[in-house]
């Protein structure tokens, strides 16, 4: 029996979030999944669900904005001595603040989490994938990746930077057999984050008005399976009710 290939999902929170859904999806396809986030208790809960359904997962708490932490993560990945098939940089922290109430620390924090962390993560992942000559890298974007609106100007600048990073990587590493994908999540995900913070908004959206995490994960997998003669670099996902 061959070695199990690997996936890394960076940005895993609650069991009802996109990170957890991606972990379940990839594990369900037979990959060993590294679940990466800031809170070990949440990561262990997601890993337990995956293991309960017969999958394989390793939870690891990492600050993705710290270079040494990211290097430590990839030391563990390399120690598995298996192919790294998929990575998903799914960090999406947001802070709402009008422009004059946005301090330098807020602006910098959003940039570090959404953009710098992706840069550090990509450098490590691409070294492995380039050695293999294959792999798929996903970057989870947002409506703000394409247009900025208050009070999310700082968040939009960080997400636009993430999109630019993904574009550059696609052009540099695509010819080496590495599939780089930027996804625009154009709507609100039906997870604990939205339900806890914006319950009235969630209720107003009604049935089918939010993006389902498991449906997004299935789309990621379908893109991963694309033939290299017809790769998608960027796609946008939204509920059928969402205006655009």
pLDDT of residue 2: 56
CA distance to 58, 69, 102, 221, per residue, from 95 (Å): 29, 24, 9, 29
Q: At a CB cut-off of 8 Å and minimum separation 6, what does 199 contact?
A: none
Cβ(13)–Cβ(37) below 8 Å: yes
Our count of domains for the chain comes to: 1
For residue 244, being part of any structural domain is answered with: no
CA distance to 2, 50, 67, 75, 115, per residue, from 141 (Å): 34, 25, 22, 27, 10
Integer Cα distance of 90 and 87 in angstroms: 9
CA distance to 18, 68, 69, 80, 189, per residue, from 75 (Å): 25, 10, 10, 9, 32
pLDDT along the chain (244 residues), means of 10: 85 94 98 97 97 97 97 97 97 88 94 97 97 97 94 95 98 97 94 76 82 97 98 96 84
Integer Cα distance of 131 and 139 in angstroms: 21
Q: Which pair of tokens denotes residue 35?
A: 């679940």
pTM: 0.94
For residue 243, being part of any structural domain is answered with: no
Q: How many C-alpha atoms does 39 have within 13 Å on its Cβ side?
A: 9
CATH, residue 55? 3.40.50.720
For residue 1, being part of any structural domain is answered with: no
CA distance to 22, 93, 174, per residue, from 212 (Å): 12, 19, 29
For residue 10, being part of any structural domain is answered with: yes
For residue 242, being part of any structural domain is answered with: no
Q: Which range of residues forms the domain containing residue 153?
A: 6-237
Strand stretches in 152-221, DSSP E: 178-185
Q: Number of helices (H) and strands (E), helices first, in the chain?
A: 9, 7
| Phi then psi dihedrals of residue 135, to 5 deg | 140, 160
Integer Cα distance of 119 and 165 in angstroms: 7
For residue 14, being part of any structural domain is answered with: yes
pLDDT of residue 1: 43
For residue 28, being part of any structural domain is answered with: yes
Q: Which of 160, 174, 58, 64 is nearest to 121 (CA)?
A: 64
For residue 210, being part of any structural domain is answered with: yes
| Phi then psi dihedrals of residue 232, to 5 deg | -90, 130
pLDDT of residue 205: 81
């Amino acid at each position: 029996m061959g070695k199990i290939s690997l996936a890394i999902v960076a940005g895993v929170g609650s069991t009802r979030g996109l990170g957890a859904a991606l972990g379940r999806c990839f594990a369900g396809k037979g990959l060993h999944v590294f679940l990466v986030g800031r809170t070990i208790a949440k990561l262990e809960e997601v890993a337990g669900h995956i293991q309960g359904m017969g999958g394989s997962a390793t939870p690891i708490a990492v600050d993705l904005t710290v270079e040494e932490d990211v290097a430590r993560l990839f030391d563990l990945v390399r120690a598995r001595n298996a192919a790294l098939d998929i990575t998903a940089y799914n960090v999406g922290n947001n802070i709402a603040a009008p422009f004059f109430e946005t301090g330098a620390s807020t602006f910098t924090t959003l940039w570090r989490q959404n953009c710098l962390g992706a840069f550090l993560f990509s450098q490590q992942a691409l070294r492995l994938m380039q050695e293999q000559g294959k792999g798929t890298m996903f970057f989870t974007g947002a409506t703000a990746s394409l247009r900025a609106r208050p009070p999310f100007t700082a968040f939009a600048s960080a997400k636009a930077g993430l999109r630019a990073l993904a574009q550059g990587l696609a052009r540099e590493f695509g010819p080496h057999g590495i599939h780089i994908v930027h996804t625009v999540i154009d709507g609100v995900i039906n997870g604990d984050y939205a339900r806890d913070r914006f319950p009235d908004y969630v209720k107003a959206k009604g049935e089918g008005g939010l993006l389902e995490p498991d449906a997004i994960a299935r789309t990621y997998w379908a893109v991963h399976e694309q033939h290299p003669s017809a790769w998608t670099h960027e796609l946008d996902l939204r509920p059928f009710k969402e205006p655009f």
